[in-house]
Every structure is written in structure tokens, then in C-alpha cells.
Amino acid sequence: MLNKPITIAGGGLAGLSLAIGLRERGVPVLLHEAGRYPRHRVCGEFISGVKGSTLEALGIADDLADAERNGKAKWFREGDELLDSDMPEPALGISRYRLDQRLKERFLSLGGRLREGSRLGREPREGMVWAAGRLPKKGGWIGLKCHLQDFPMKSDLEMHLGANGYAGLTPVEDGRVNVCGLFKLDRSRKGRGSGLLLDYLRQGGSEELAERIESGRPDEESFLGVSGFELGWQGGDQSLCSLGDAEGMIPPFTGNGMSMAFESAELALDPLVRWSSGSAEWDASVSEIHRVAKSRFRRRVANAMALHKVLLDARGQRLISAISRTGLLPFRPLLSLVR
């Protein structure tokens, strides 16, 4: 019997990697992406916590084989160094501009069908996976990102805490560094392009970082900003087969959102293949995907939301500074709470 086709709404990392994994298993896939490739995305562009076995299962390990390996991290608060630590596993650094384009090409080479510039409606229906990213909401956050063309790093990864948010820097391909910040939205902030990012950094007390970025030759073509979203569970309809950020968005400081997108695609593969081959009902497959996703991600999202509050709170930051001065900040145990 012929496999039934799957339609995917959203060609970000969850949608593209699921589409590739399904094509590898002989499932017909039609992917609708509202935007067009290649394109920059507001993202820190460091992938932390993903297992090689997940990338292999999805059939995308080769697409990440040449990503930068970033094994050391330094944390700062308003310019002062808090922590210098090794990551348990190196984080992968690659731009979304390159990665999403590569995954699109792999999907097409496997016979997948793609409609760019096509936006689907968010109604649950048999055979449709919703991987369209976080839900638009009146949120209190703004994410800003820009590539720097000439930026000497102080470590493989830099994370800067300020009074109004945080920003991470990581090397990506071609000698570029990506800077991406999440800040409390303040509509009185001025500035265009990277100037807006600098304004937010200065407002939060990261003057030295702002100066370094200013002289790091920001590539204005890569600058992007996004607001109107909330972190955490997106309050999804249980009858909708939602994956990745569409289901739940982990706070960005973890560097784990892209891993969660890949992991959620991986855990959806078997239930969707069973539906496609006619050996499972759609509703049963969707319930299984929700159940496995909740049990895998519930603890890490809850921990990350709690730590995110501490990181953005002045007293929380003072506490982190005080503990880090004693050299007793348990970086690895804290990191394991959000993996």
C-alpha cells in the first residue's frame, strides 16, 4: 500500500529536519514555508545539547559536520567576568542562513515538495504537522541579532548579562561572529539596525561590549529583530500535531531551542511513519507525540524558566556574582538542569 502524505506547516529546524527524516523513510512530504530561503533568523546560532544519534536519525548529521565546535564559555555581568568554564560537549556554531538553506536542499534532493511563501492556517487536521514556530502573542520581549565581520572573541562563547536582558556571542562560518540578545521590550529605545542592539546593550550596562561590537564591523544585512512572543509552553491545542517552538519555547540562554526542535522532530518520526503506512490512527499518533514530548521536555523547560527569572533579576544577578567570586558556581550541574 502507498504511504499517505504528510503536510508540514513551517520550514524552520523542526519542520525541515522532520521533513528530511520522513523522506528518508519513504513518506511523501509537502512542506509549506511562509518565508523564503536563504534568510537570516533571530537566533543565537549556537546549538548545545543535541546528541549525534538525533542528527543521524533525522539524516542531517552531514549538514552540521563542518559547524564550528565551541567548547569554552565565559559569562559576564555588565562587563565584569563572572565565569570561565568548559562546556560538557562543544556547542555547534553555524548561521541559520546557511543551515536552513542546506536542509532545504537536502529535503529537495530526497524528493520532498516545498512551497515557499505559503502560509497555512492553524487548524488541526489529519496528516498535518504544525512546526510554525512560537505563537504570536503580546509578549514583553525583543530579540535582536546581527553578524559581526571582524570581532576578536574572549572565549569560544561569550554570554553577557545586563540589567535589561542578556546577549550571547558565538563564532559561525567564514570568520563571522553572531551576536544575539533577548531584552525586555522598551519602546522608548532608539536606533536602527545594529544601533538598536547597541542601544539596548548600553541601557543594560554592557558599555564595553557595545563598543567592541561597534568596532566589529556589523553586517547590517544580517540584522534582524523580533518581538511579540512569550517564552515557555505555547498553550497548544492537544489535537494539533505541534513540534519545536510551536509546542514550547525554552529560554534562549540555554542554547537548547534548536536541539529541542531536532529532538521533537526525532520523537515524531515513528508515530508519523506508522500513520502514513496505515498502521496507526492519526489521533493516536498525535497523542503519542504530545506524551513523549512532554515527558522529555517538561523538566528542562520548567528549570530554564526558573533560571531565566534569576538571570534577569538584579538580586539574582548579584547572587550569581557573589557565588562566582568564591569560584563555587556549579556551572555544569546548572547546565544539566536545562538539558
Which residues sit at the interface with ligand FAD, rule CB under 6 A?
A: 9-15, 32-35, 42-47, 119-120, 131-133, 143, 168, 180, 182, 244-246, 252, 255-259, 261
User: How many CA atoms within 13 Å lie on the side-chain side of 222?
Assistant: 21
C-alpha grid cell, residue 258: 534548536
What minimum distance in Å lies between the beta carbon of 194 and ligand FAD?
Answer: 15
Return the number of the residue (13 or 73) whose C-beta is nearest ligand FAD.
13
What minimum distance in Å lies between the beta carbon of 132 and ligand FAD?
Answer: 3
What minimum distance in Å lies between the beta carbon of 156 and ligand FAD?
Answer: 13
Give percent helix, percent strand, percent coil of the chain, each to the nearest 5.
40, 25, 35
Return the number of the residue (226 or 280) whose C-beta is nearest ligand FAD.
226
Return the number of the residue (281 or 338) whose C-beta is nearest ligand FAD.
338
CA distance 293 to 78: 37
Q: Tell me the one-letter amino acid at 82.
A: L
What minimum distance in Å lies between the beta carbon of 328 and ligand FAD?
Answer: 27
| Short-list 313, 295, 296, 315, CA closest to 305 | 313
Return the number of the residue (33 or 158) whose C-beta is nearest ligand FAD.
33
For residue 333, whether the previous peptide bond is cis, meaning omega lies within 30 degrees of 0, is no
What minimum distance in Å lies between the beta carbon of 310 and ligand FAD?
Answer: 18
What minimum distance in Å lies between the beta carbon of 254 and ligand FAD?
Answer: 7
Return the number of the residue (117 or 327) whose C-beta is nearest ligand FAD.
117
CA distance 272 to 268: 6
Extended beta strands in 46-156, E state: 46-47, 68-77, 80-93, 113-116, 128-130, 141-148
Q: Three-state SS for 121?
A: coil
What minimum distance in Å lies between the beta carbon of 322 and ligand FAD?
Answer: 27
The dihedrals phi and psi of 104, each to the nearest 5 degrees, come to: -60, -45
CA distance 286 to 148: 42
C-alpha grid cell, residue 143: 530579540
What minimum distance in Å lies between the beta carbon of 184 and ligand FAD?
Answer: 12
What minimum distance in Å lies between the beta carbon of 329 and ligand FAD?
Answer: 21
- Tell me if 58 sits within 8 A of 20, measured CB to CB: yes
DSSP 219: E
The dihedrals phi and psi of 294, each to the nearest 5 degrees, come to: -60, -45
Return the number of the residue (322 or 334) whose C-beta is nearest ligand FAD.
334
159 sits in which H/E element:
strand 157-162
> Which residue's Cβ lies closest to ligand FAD?
12
Return the number of the residue (13 or 57) whose C-beta is nearest ligand FAD.
13
| Short-list 312, 289, 270, 271, CA closest to 57 | 270
Return the number of the residue (82 or 249) whose C-beta is nearest ligand FAD.
249
Return the number of the residue (121 or 333) whose C-beta is nearest ligand FAD.
121
CA distance 304 to 251: 6
